[in-house]
Structure 1
Amino acid sequence: MTHTTERSSTRVRGFTDPELDFQLLRQLGSAAYGGASIGEPLAVAATLGDGVAGWTDGFAALAERQRADAGARAAAGHPISARDRFLHACNSFRAAEYFAPAGTARQAELGLASRAAFLAAAPYLPGRVEELWLHWEDQRLPGYLCTPPDEAGPGPILVATSGFDGTLEETYLQVGRAGLERGWRVLVICGPGQMDVTRTEPHTHFVPDTERWVTPWLDHVLARPEVDPERLALLGISLGGYWVTRAAAHDDRIRALVANSPIVDLHAYQVAFVAPYVGGDPEVVLAPGDDLRLDDIDTLPDTEMPAAAKELARSLMTRFGRASFLDTFAYLRGFRVDPAAVTCPALALVGSGEGGEPRAQFERFCAEVAGPVTAHTFTADDGADTHCQLGNLAYSAAVVFDWLEELFARG
């Protein structure tokens, strides 16, 4: 028998598919604020091929193991251990939810499991986490208000929202916990069409005039005694960069805006995202007879349209509430905002690896916003060149909160 000594059987390998690499990095990066270990996501990744098949089942199985472990530790009287494992389970369920087919019962089930795991961790988290529900038109929009443990009177409040596929729980891990550590009150919110709402409102979809739902959230939080209305900041992550820029253009109660990254024309942004899959702007390269309808997706063989492209198309149509691909891009033409209508101080963030269209919209935002703008580009040397700096959340939080604290200190 040969005797060997090794450091580990785990190997750090990514994927040839850049989207899968990004999603793995997304999971690993959340370890900075307790959303994952390093070893468990790598162990799941090692079992996968180079396609999306197996991703949802692999991360769902991991989440089930983590949830069971958390429950056992809670029952045995180990609250800190239980908190950590519930947070791991929460974010593993989110990873599984991401690649589950949009609008299906399976996706909703995984999303609700993610929320339940977060709420199980909440009693053990620093400070207080309050689950909120905002009644908006014919829907219920969930949110969380997080207050620091040493709260003493009104203090600064960060209202944060994610974008196309982020969740409230993930937003807590990205900016909420960092804010609490600095003494901030943090309200994480979502609106129609976002992942959290799709879990319970199957007919929800994105709307272009996002001030319609952001404003009621601000009405609620500004009525709270623990909030200082003169220190209200609004932050948007990913497509949330559009949601918050649009809201800031219509609500002068916002004292500071953080766009990560700035999006002022969602149609152009999404065209650049899907162009590699369809060969350009869908409204230019697709004739009406070539249009893809939501009902057609499951009838297409993978040889005609790869599985990843089919799920992207399904998700876009479902989340924007349109029946076909061309209808979706026609609808997207309404998702625009004039940066000159933003008059409060703004922090614009972008990663050097995000591509040409995000960079162009970042530069337009910085040039046209009427109020003072601070621009920051994250680089590969920072370990943060990715979309939303998922590879270095602690550094991203430092840039955001240091800017906000210095801004409000100047009055």
Structure 2
Amino acid sequence: MDPHGDRYALFEKYLSGACTPKEIETLFHHFGVAQDEAALRRLIRSALLERGQADAELHARVEAFTERVGERLWVETAKERRFPWGWRLVAASLTAAITIGAMAYLLVKSDEPAAQLVSEYGGEVLPGGNRATLTLADGRIIELNTEREGIVVGDEITYVDGSDVLRQTIKAEKQRPENDSNIQYAVLTTPKGGTYQVVLPDGSKVWLNAATSLSYPLSFTGTRRIVELEGEAYFEVREQRSATDGRYINVPFVVKTRGQEVEVLGTQFNISAYADDNETKTTLVEGKVNVVIAGAATALQPSEQATLRSGDLEIKEVDTTPFVDWKNGLFSFNETGLRDAMSQLSRWYDLEVTYGEAVSETYFFGKIKRDKSLSNVLNILRKSGLNFRIENSGEQDRLIVLP
């Protein structure tokens, strides 16, 4: 016997409006049971996606369900800052769908198997992978090995497994000032559909997302460790101390992006600063950083995010997980708007995205593995209300979002 069969039956009874007050209390209890997340996800998916194929009758029942629990459930979920998987996440999505309008709900867990589909133009768009180029100070461009995950910069440049990238001894005067024009810089660049890692000369680690470039010195000298970023990267910065005037001082690590600097000593954080975005987001996972704009510094605490938009800085507390999940191979949607979600797909699958007329705003919740083909991802999002067409013109794939 299915140990969860009574829950399926109870949920179906609730959808039909036939539950007693005591049974409703039982369902509210299940909303908060984290260890039952997998069973409850299957229950929701079965009730809303598989039965009835979202026909008019099912839609009406879902709407009635939401109206009955909306206010009470919204109060419950408002207490949950991190929106865990399971009943709370799905129910919050359903409530918002009624109260806000065109809200989609992504109800398929990323580790559930999905059939490999063929895109409508007859081909398949594969996911990104380990792709990057390394540009050296003398202009040489090295195509990095796609079978490796990253490089280590030291006296030589090697892959993380110790094999050679470039065997070149770097001789640097340790007291050379940071503004010395003779300092050698390298640029690590990922294309659309690429990701790569680098261990910097001080031992700090950086993960680059797709369509990102990181400029860094081949040897850190002076009183600050400075790198420059365009795109998105996750940093694990190691503390470094330097002997100056007979005493040891901390050497700040500085990330320069468009319109701001982020100064740290030792910490973990994510910066998203794409040139085609109208905002720069700095998300602190642990430690402490200063976001410096026009000489004015603002300190961030763990789980805080600084958003720079048109010269204005907004600080808010966030669940950091959705902003760093890309590093762990996931698309992570937490009330993510349509265009933001499509931007993620565009960078990872090297797509051009266009929008038809009167495309309404849609929001997505959930996680999908980034190692899936494009058609698999779109098949999941289609269930959340995404309408689209895929075209191919020469070497460029185009995703057209439809009303």
Higher helix share: 1
TM-score (norm 1): 0.25
Q: Which has the larger radius of gyration?
A: 2
